[in-house]
Structure 1
Amino acid sequence: MYQFSYAEIAQESFAAARDRERDALQRSIEAMERAEAAGPRSREAVEAVYLTRSLWTILVEDLANPENTLPEELRASLISVGLWIMREAEAIRLGKTQSFKSLIEISTTIREGLDA
């Protein structure tokens, strides 16, 4: 019979959560890459904006939760980035911005940070 410590179970849970976050960011990045290729008024752009805004709404809410175990300074920085991403996605939706490139770059950097 296997015996696991609380720390082992918590670490596995933390790793699984990071994997889910990484996968969600990857799906968002892929959607934005398709949208970048198809253009800012395409169906792909609408889907990418919706997916990206939805994802970051969830992430920002989680980061703002006092029970989130990330260091406060890191949480604040990620919340700022998330709010910027949501504003940029909205600017694309409104036709004020035409490109997903900066959103893709920032999202990729954050996704890569989850690998560390």
Structure 2
Amino acid sequence: MTLSSYDAVIEDGGQEARGREREALNHGINLLRQLQSGQLAPPEDTEALLFVRRLWTFFVQDLSSERNGLSEKLRADLISIGLWVIKEADRVRQEKSTDVAELLGINIIIRDALA
């Protein structure tokens, strides 16, 4: 395998990974929209928030890895966002907040940035 073919495989792998991340974020966004509109009854409402929490926990763990190819500054910024999302999802789940609009908005912004 030549160096240029290796680079192409790496780039394709990154694009595939971003595609999977977009799909996961889309699923979380759809769940948050259903939650916001009152379409989810217990325990589905809790499961929706737990999905978003687990997704962002995975993202934070990946961003914390030295093997992550993003710049240190961008990784730190995304980790901060991720920690906020996790805490806010917990606040909504614990009924300390009822507004999911900000959670929804942040997830949409991050998803759109992966395009």
TM-score range, shorter chain: over 0.9
Decide whether the 8 Å contact of 1:40 with 1:95 is kept in 2. no
Query: Residue in 2 aligned with 1:24?
Result: 24
Contact 1:40 1:99 in 2 (8 A): no
Q: Percent identity?
A: 36
Cα distance in 1 for partners of 2:93, 2:31 equals 14
RMSD over equivalenced CA pairs, Å: 1.6
Matched to 1:61, the amino acid is Q
More deviation, 35-44/4-13: 35-44
- CA shift, 1:85, in A, is 0.3
Deviation at 1:44, TM superposition (A): 3.4
1:82 aligned partner, one-letter code: G
Q: Quick one: which amino acid aligns to residue 103 of structure 2?
A: L
TM-score, length of structure 2 as denominator length: 0.92
Deviation at 1:99, TM superposition (A): 1.5
Give me the whole-angstrom Cα distance separating, in 1, the residues matched to 2:37 and 2:19. Answer: 27
In the TM superposition, 1:1-116 aligns within 5 A as 5-38=5-38, 42-115=42-115
* TM-score calculated relative to the size of structure 1: 0.91
SS at match of 1:98: coil
SS of residue in 2 equivalent to 1:70: coil
Structure 1: state its 5+ residue gaps.
none
Structure 1 stretch displaced more, 40-49 or 55-64 = 40-49
